[in-house]
Structure 1
Amino acid sequence: MTSPNDVQLQVLHTVRILGYAGNAAVSERAGIPPANVDEALLDAQAAGQVVWSQFENDGGWSLTEAGKTLGEVLLAEELDRAGARVEVEAVRTEFESLNRQVTSACTRWQLTEMGIGEQATSLAETVEELARAGKAWATLEKHLVLHLPRFAGYYERLSAALDRARTDPSWVTATDRESAHRVWFELHEDLLATLGRSR
């Protein structure tokens, strides 16, 4: 059975990773029943840890500084309980070179789409480069999941996005879906939050 502290950690962490999300998105991403998520978000709002914003028909939660600070405290406790700080630091170090590779590939693709930049690239080349980074991450993910199971699934989600990107380029960098860039962005934020760091 998931404890209230676990729910609090998962909900705050999920809001941080997603950046801005409604209750249903938080529930789906965290794997927590909607009723538990609703209660945790209302409690966090009352404590000044999250804030609700509404833009026309779209509304969502985002973390306050207090929520970010508490989330990092809870994540540090989780990391210490797992005895995995050294392992996560090692993964983050290896991740940095992959992150540069992914960032560069996405930037070149965006410039190509806009018809600017000196290094035009094709969709196939972009997907292949992102896939190489993804395969390298898969090895790191397997190691990380042994200590922190919540890291499972990033490679699967990235691969699904890249499969769609082969015929629909919007799946490379679009922000309105689980594109390759969005999945990678969430992964990066997950690693940073786990170690109490910012971009």
Structure 2
Amino acid sequence: MLDSYELTVHTLTLRQLGTAEQLADINGLALAEVEAALAKALTDSAVMAARGSHMITPAGREFLDGVYARAYAALRADGAVTEAMESFETGVNKQILALTTDWQTVEVDGARVTNDHGDADYDAKIIEKLGRVHEKTAKVLRPLAAADALVERFLDRIGTALTRAEGGETDYVSGVRVDSVHTVWFQMHEHILRLTGRERPE
């Protein structure tokens, strides 16, 4: 497990630029803890700040490389975790990417064009499929969620985004200005890659 300082710096690898409030929303720490960690990280030159937002520095990334190796050594040696990551990369992650493409585009006369979201039934089917993949993902990532509470938090946040999308707030499927399914999935993927020491697939 990471302490509040390590976790705050780590969160800036998941969201490239963020305020203390935005980082706390991701990692679940109290805002005061995140603010204290950021103040220390600034002193340590692990992060830089501008206009109230923060981003990680090369020194911060180097610091985290050492942290991960220590904090996640047992997790990285766990065969169940390795198997779960293989299932994630070859299964549910590819399904989410395909469904995101299907959400953003539709096929017309054999060509892909931008989805204008005028077909409510088409959109509803995509959201339903996303829900099924989310349920499957919770099962696939169970070994990681058992070892790291933040994985469960990401899954809960994806569930919240799906609920809002089902209620008609369709920006919560792939919008970049909200905590959409796509946005939170990207953060979760980056998080579990860093836990397990793997590279993001091309």
TM-score relative to the length of structure 1: 0.82
Which runs of no fewer than 5 residues in structure 2 stay unpaired?
A: none
Q: Percent identity?
A: 25
- Counterpart Cα distance in 2 of 1:152 and 1:37: 20
**Aligned-partner residue type, residue 100 of structure 2:** C
Judge conservation of contact 1:53–1:61 (CA < 8 Å) in 2. Answer: yes
Note if 1:141 corresponds to 2:136: no
Matched, 1:104 2:105: no
Aligned length: 190
What is the CA–CA distance in structure 2 between the aligned matches of 1:190 and 1:177, rounded to whole Å?
19
- Segments of 5+ residues of structure 1 without an aligned counterpart are none
For the aligned residues, what is the CA RMSD?
A: 2.6
CA drift at 1:185: 0.7
- Looking at structure 2, the residues matched to 95 and 101 of structure 1 have their Cα atoms a distance apart, in angstroms, of 10
Amino acid at match of 1:32: L
Task: Report the AA paired with residue 172 of structure 1.
Answer: V
- Aligned to 2:112, which of 108, 112, 117? 117
SS in 1 for 2:37: helix
Q: Classify the secondary structure of the residue corresponding to 2:87.
A: helix
Could you tell me whether the CA contact under 8 Å between 1:141 and 1:155 is conserved in 2? no
Shift of 1:197: 3.8
SS of equivalent to 1:19: coil
- Alignment counterpart, residue 72 of structure 2, candidates 79, 85, 96: 79
Alignment-derived partner of residue 129 in structure 2: 129
State the Cα deviation string for residues 71-98 of structure 1 (Å, max 9, x = none).
2321221112557543332222111121
- SS for the counterpart of 1:52 is strand
2:82 aligns with 89
